[in-house]
Amino acid sequence: MNYDKIIYVDRKSDIPLFGIDFIGIIDRGTNVIELKPLTLCNLECKYCFVSAGDYDINFIVDFEYIIDKVRETIKIKGSYDIEIHIAPYGESLLYPQLIGLIRKLWTIDGIKIISMQSNGLLLTHEIINKLTSVNLTRINLSLNTLDDELASYLCNCKYYDVNKLLDYIGVLLNSGIDVLLAPVWFPGENDKDIEEIIKVVSNFRTLGYSEKQIQIGIQKYLIYKTGRKLKKIRPKTWGYFYKQLSQLERRYNIKLKLGPRDFGIHKRKGVDTLNLKKGDIITAQVVSQGRWNKEYIAKINDYIGIKILLNKQLTLIHSEDLIGKEIKVKVIKANYKDNIITAVFPFKK
């Protein structure tokens, strides 16, 4: 975990909060607004799809800046039935303004649910009390196994106390915070563990906790170019994955195939991203270096940002040569499902 260089993003930073995948606000055209307030992580998981935990540069976004943009986003979407989901490319509990952020979010009309993702290893009774005091609705925990040794291996850490985390799940439920266990299924690695986690959820429900209070959302293992991958494990097809879930549903009499309806997610007007498409050549002003030495943040305007990847095959450029300059870049990704824009510089015409 690299704390040597941290960039603080606020209203004066000139860094927009829309259009960039790893910080700010992600809008997928639904009633859910996803927040990414930091990139710091306490783990370097071997399977992390964004390689969190060892970035060259980390980012922390001021919560007042986020609040401003959330208000603007809700005005576009409508002030009703909004879920705020705190899901950084890192660990939510490392965000120093987390409690203040949640408290301030509840003052905005239309917010119905505030949820967050966490690996859970930083939970304490004090932290849970604070999360309860600001009425966190739900926490999604990435528990992949009940075996300490396998958990340590997957998370690339020296010590992982599963029983302690299970105890805290009970404390969270008793505190009125809903829990969703979100294990990643690594075929051939944690097959039995997935079933054990299903049993944990079933056991909590036999104790009187409802399907809303304790849920399980099994995730398919995917490999991304920008992420780490487990050796000798190949992802299965979606068809195979859902077939396996169906078998487990019948075996344990529990719903495992969860979709948007299970979380009240529905379509809603999204933030405008200028109708850019792959292949477009645009002018953007570089405002910051990114997480990696060959990654930058630029702004198209004061509202929309763009991630720029340096084309190493064409030239070697130092960051001091780019910051503050307007450059022409070529869009290589304009994904309106998640409101993310990526470009390359320099590029061949």
Measured between alpha carbons, how far is 37 from 9 in angstroms, rounded to an integer? 9
Q: Which two tokens stand for residue 273?
A: 């991203």
CB 47 within 8 A of CB 230: yes
Average pLDDT over residues 136-145: 97
Q: What percent of the chain has pLDDT over 90?
A: 82
Q: What is the spatial distance between Cα 194 and Cα 200, in angstroms, rounded to a whole number?
A: 10
- Say yes or no to pLDDT of 136 above 70: yes
User: What global pTM score does this model have?
Assistant: 0.94
Characterize the bridge pairing of strands 58-61 and 305-310: unpaired
* 3-class DSSP state of 276: coil
| Cα(258)–Cα(86) distance, integer angstroms | 19
The C-alpha angle with vertex 227 and arms to 286 and 54, in degrees rounded to 5, equals 70
**Cβ pair 155, 186 in contact under 8 A:** no
Question: Residue 97 has what pLDDT?
Answer: 97
Average pLDDT value for the chain:
93
Alpha carbon distance 210, 271 (integer Å) = 35
Name the pLDDT band for 337 (thresholds 50, 70, 90).
Answer: confident
CB atoms within 10 A of CB 168: 22
CB 326 within 8 A of CB 298: no
- Which range, of 152-156, 212-216, 285-289, 309-313, averages the lowest pLDDT? 309-313
Structural domains in the chain, CATH included, are 6-263 (3.20.20.70), 281-345 (2.40.50.140)
Residue 313 pLDDT grade (very low, low, confident, very high; cuts 50, 70, 90): low
Asked if residue 2 has pLDDT above 60, the reply is no
Token duo for residue 207: 């104790």
pLDDT digits 0-9 by tens, 195-247: 999 999 999 999 999 999 999 999 999 988 878 998 888 889 999 999 999 99
Q: Average pLDDT for residues 91-111, to the nearest whole number?
A: 98
Report whether pLDDT(321) > 80.
no
